[in-house]
Each structure stands twice: as structure tokens, then as C-alpha cells.
Copies of this chain bind each other. A is one copy, B any other.
Amino acid sequence: PGVYMQPDGQATVTVWGPLLESVEMVGSPEMPMQVPLQKKEYGYWQGQTVLPPGQRYKFRLNGKEAFPDPASLSQPEGVHGYSEVLDRSFLWTDEGWTGIAQEELILYELHTGTFSDTHDFEGVAERLPYLKKLGITAIEIMPVNHFPGSRNWGYDGVYTYAVHGAYGGLHGLKRLVNAAHNEGIAVILDVVYNHLGPDGNYLAEYGPYFTSRYKTPWGKALNFDDAWCDGVRNYFVQNVLLWLEECRIDGLRLDAVHAMWDYSAHHIMQQISEAVQALEDATGRKKILIAEIDLNNPRYISSVSAGGYGLQAQWADEFHHALHSILTGETNGYYEDFGQMYHLEKSFRDTYVYDGGYSAHRKRMFGASAQHLPYSKFVVFSQNHDQVGNRLLGDRLSATLSPAQLQLAAAAVLLSPHIPLLFMGEEYGEKNPFLFFVAHEKEDLVEVVRKSRREEFAYFQFEGDFPDPQSEQVFLSCVLGHDCKKEPVARQMFEWYQQLISLRKTRPAFNNFERTAVNVWPVDEVERVL
């Protein structure tokens, strides 16, 4: 779907709308044009035309109201405005790059808007040499698809195909990927395929993108298995290819795939993994799909031939919970299921802490064993955007732990037999928080967000003032304070991270992902460090 324009202006326009009676492409008042589309098979509408670059357009549905393109590549006027046709050509200079082996991943999660003072991809690109010096092998970028307003974590995106202009748009993303590859750094992109944001989401005007069969905590569930779901599935599969093929991104971090409800015989995760496998086969470039998932179900990351869905890896949040609860002594919320050394040991050894046993927090037996899968299929961390940002004050571990404890946490992650992930700034003990922030344009929505955050923290039983997610100050307070790296404590921490990464890369013991290679060793390691 979307508008595919050749360099000569020849454009193919495709829209999915199986229940519509007519679809017409219409220009903005400044760039008037109109092209009626023809109905094709399976609910698609198509037309050919010639367009100038930068054509602004919407689609008029059933001769009535016109809406932005669900597959828009650019929304220069915001989520409610006209879509923009882009020249997609790009001069790549990464020709030698063939991707990175899964086992070599050392991930660095960053939020484009708060990583640098310019709040954009260029600000990230400028610090690639710094990240190379640190030693990480891949950056993992929080969602960049177009969201309402100029500040957002990215999970309120409503244009799955459009890179937010504030970050630098599609072209800016390609430039960052190209630059990263030239530094020998892979790029993983966080994508949200389980819901769409609350403002500027016009998908339902076009077709049955959503289903009432299931619910998600963040918005209507996407229709992956109900009538007409093929168009929805294809919308996301093509989006995967936009990132991995056109933008040459090395892999995706798929947000909360447990909320991508699908009871069909061909799970959408499997469809996506098969499409990516075909791309890898065709291009010879390694691609990696990493799921965020809260099911402790190894099926998602098992091979298709073993009855799985074929994803390469998943986040292992339980490792974080086990580590965090021991380091901080916190026992509220889901931490009630953790807090003993036993949990951390189990996570080091078996990855899933709950692999069939009773979880008091969930009030049921939970999970299945993952012991038949290698450690390299699991990403572990002591902090990430959620674990920091979903605290009332967005406080990092550095706000409460001593440098020695922080070093211990870093060692636990970077010398873990699993794949390590760092959260931007932790490598030098960044003190600035990472708070939840938005810049919604609808006042009632702002109130909804404030209310839901308050309710969330009623549960967590924190005390203190309530930072306003809508405030620009809150956003600015989260921007990394790179200057502090000059301080001795920060420098020492950075060197510690460098050493651990170097150790991980050079010692064979840290490159063995077989289950048999690991025992209770991590606990001894911890004592040695202290």
C-alpha cells in the first residue's frame, strides 16, 4: 500500500479498503489534483498517475470526507494533515555490510528525541564514534513512526510507514542507518504492531483494521484473524520490508507481541518471520527479529520446523525483575514474584524464572520451559526505557545505587550468557531521569494520559509529586547530559563498561550460548566483582 513514485514522477497509488465504494486521491489546496482509483482483488484500490515530489494528498472515501494515507511516508502537517509523496531514492555507501550475527549483538537502546540536544537522527549519528568506542555492536532505536505532537516515546504512533519529521523523516533514518553501517554498527528498530495511538488514527475509516474479538491495554486490537484480516496482515508485512529492505535496517524489536492476538492457523508472527527469511535469502544480509513478549512461551522464538513462529530472539524481562528486586529491595507490583537470589540464579541458568510454576502476582501457573533454546535467543538488561520510564520519577538505577552496585549490575548483564542490552546513558551513570512524556494536541487526551499515569502509580505505591507527561520541561529534563561524562565517576563507569564489553568480545567463555556451558557461575562472579 501507499504511493510508490519513480524518479520520473510515475507513481503507483495503492489503498486497501475492502468495504469502500469509491476511493479518490485528492491534492491539497496548494497542490490540487485528483485521481480516481480502480477496485482490484482482495479489497485493494489502485491507480497510476504522474506526481511532483512533495505532492500533498489525501484519499476521498465514498465521495465524502478525505483522510490521510494509512501508508503515508510523511506527515509534514501532523497526524491530521495531508500526506506527502516522497522521493525515496538514497545513495547508499554501506555496500560491504551484510549484517551482524545474532550472537555478536550488544544492544544499546536509545530514544532519538532525548539522546542528543538536537533531538534527531543527526544527533545520534554524531555520536556513533562514541558508541563504537564504548564497544556496543547495535543501536536499538525506540519507535520513530509518526505520532501526535513533537514529543513522544513513540508508542502513540498512528502512521506505521511515516518517520516523524522532527527526527529527520525517512531520509534522515536512511542516513543514520548508512552512517551506522559505515561505523560497523547494526541498527535495530522498535516497531509497534499491536495497537495504534489515540489521536490521528484514521485506519478504521478505510477498512476493518481493528477487531472487537480481543482487547489491548493501549487501544483497539488489530485484526489479524477476523474477516478481511489479510489486508491488515499485509499492511504490517509490507511495513517490515520498508524498514528491513528499503531502509536496510538490520532487525526489528517488535513491541508487545502478546497483544498481537491471532488464533489463525498461520500466526502473523510466523508470516512476518517467513517474509524476513525470504528477504535474507534474497539479499544475503542477516536480519534479526526480537520480540517483546510477556508469555514465557518459547513457541515464538522456536523455528518454524519445530512448530514455532520463527522469531530470532525475545526480551527476557524476568532477568531484569530478578536483578532489579535484589539490587533495590523493591517488592511492589510485579516485583512480588522476585526478590530472592534463587530467582536471579534461575534466570541466569534457565532464562524464564516462571517456566510452569505458580506466579503469585499473576495468580496462576505461568510459562513453559525454554531450556531447549540457546541463550543467544534472549535479551537481558538491568534498565530499559520501560523499566526506568514507568517509574513515577523516571529514576534510573544511578539515582539510588552506589557506583559499585551499578558496576555489579553492568557485569550481571554484560557477562550474562544472554544477549545484553544497555539503556542510553547507563554506560556513564547518567543522572537525568527518563520520564514518560507526550505532546498531545487534544486537551481531553492529555487528561486521560495524566489520569492513567496516576492510576498506574496508585498501584506501585510510590510517593511524591506527579511529573506532568505533557510538559516540555519534563521532556527536556530527560535529554542525556553528555557533559557529565567528563566527571571522574562517570569516566570510571564508562571504562568499566568498556572493559566488560571487551571481555565479552574476547573471552570464548562469554561467547558460548549453549545451556550446558553455564552453571551457578554468575553468583560467584558477582562476589568476585564486589
Count of chain copies: 2
Contact check, B264 vs A42: say whether CB atoms are below 8 A apart. Answer: no
Contact check, A230 vs B365: say whether CB atoms are below 8 A apart. Answer: yes
Q: Please encode chain A, from 205 to 228, with 1 for each CB lying within 8 Å of some chain B CB and 0 for all others.
A: 000000001110000000001111
Binds B, one of A282-290, A302-310, A341-349, A485-493: A302-310
Contact check, A296 vs B265: say whether CB atoms are below 8 A apart. Answer: yes
Contact check, A227 vs B365: say whether CB atoms are below 8 A apart. Answer: no
Contact check, A297 vs B364: say whether CB atoms are below 8 A apart. Answer: no
Contact check, A368 vs B263: say whether CB atoms are below 8 A apart. Answer: no
- The answer to whether A197 has its CB under 8 Å from any CB of chain B is no
Identity of the chain B residue whose Cβ is nearest the Cβ of A309 in the assembled complex = B307
A306: B residues at CB distance < 8 A: 306-307
Binds B, one of A151-159, A355-363, A437-445, A510-518: A355-363
A362 touches which one: B227, B295, B302, B307 (CB < 8 A)?
B227
Taking CB atoms and an 8 Å cut-off, the chain A residues in 236-270 that contact chain B are 258, 261, 263-266
A270 to B420, CA, bound (A): 33
- The answer to whether A367 has its CB under 8 Å from any CB of chain B is yes
A265 touches which one: B226, B307, B367 (CB < 8 A)?
B367
A18 to B360, CA, bound (A): 13
Contact check, A263 vs B295: say whether CB atoms are below 8 A apart. Answer: yes
Contact check, B227 vs A299: say whether CB atoms are below 8 A apart. Answer: no
- The answer to whether A97 has its CB under 8 Å from any CB of chain B is no
A213: B residues at CB distance < 8 A: 214-215
A230: B residues at CB distance < 8 A: 358, 364-365
Contact check, B307 vs A299: say whether CB atoms are below 8 A apart. Answer: yes
A296: B residues at CB distance < 8 A: 265
Identity of the chain B residue whose Cβ is nearest the Cβ of A231 in the assembled complex = B364
Contact check, B297 vs A228: say whether CB atoms are below 8 A apart. Answer: no
- The answer to whether A417 has its CB under 8 Å from any CB of chain B is no
Identity of the chain B residue whose Cβ is nearest the Cβ of A362 in the assembled complex = B227
Contact check, B299 vs A265: say whether CB atoms are below 8 A apart. Answer: yes
A299: B residues at CB distance < 8 A: 265, 307
Contact check, A264 vs B229: say whether CB atoms are below 8 A apart. Answer: no
Taking CB atoms and an 8 Å cut-off, the chain A residues in 314-370 that contact chain B are 356, 358, 362-368
A283 to B266, CA, bound (A): 37
A364 to B18, CA, bound (A): 11
Identity of the chain B residue whose Cβ is nearest the Cβ of A232 in the assembled complex = B364
A266 to B298, CA, bound (A): 10
Contact check, A297 vs B227: say whether CB atoms are below 8 A apart. Answer: no
19 contacts between A and B (CB under 8 A): A18-B363, A42-B358, A225-B364, A227-B362, A227-B363, A228-B363, A229-B364, A230-B358, A230-B365, A261-B263, A263-B295, A264-B295, A265-B295, A265-B297, A265-B366, A266-B367, A266-B368, A306-B306, A307-B308
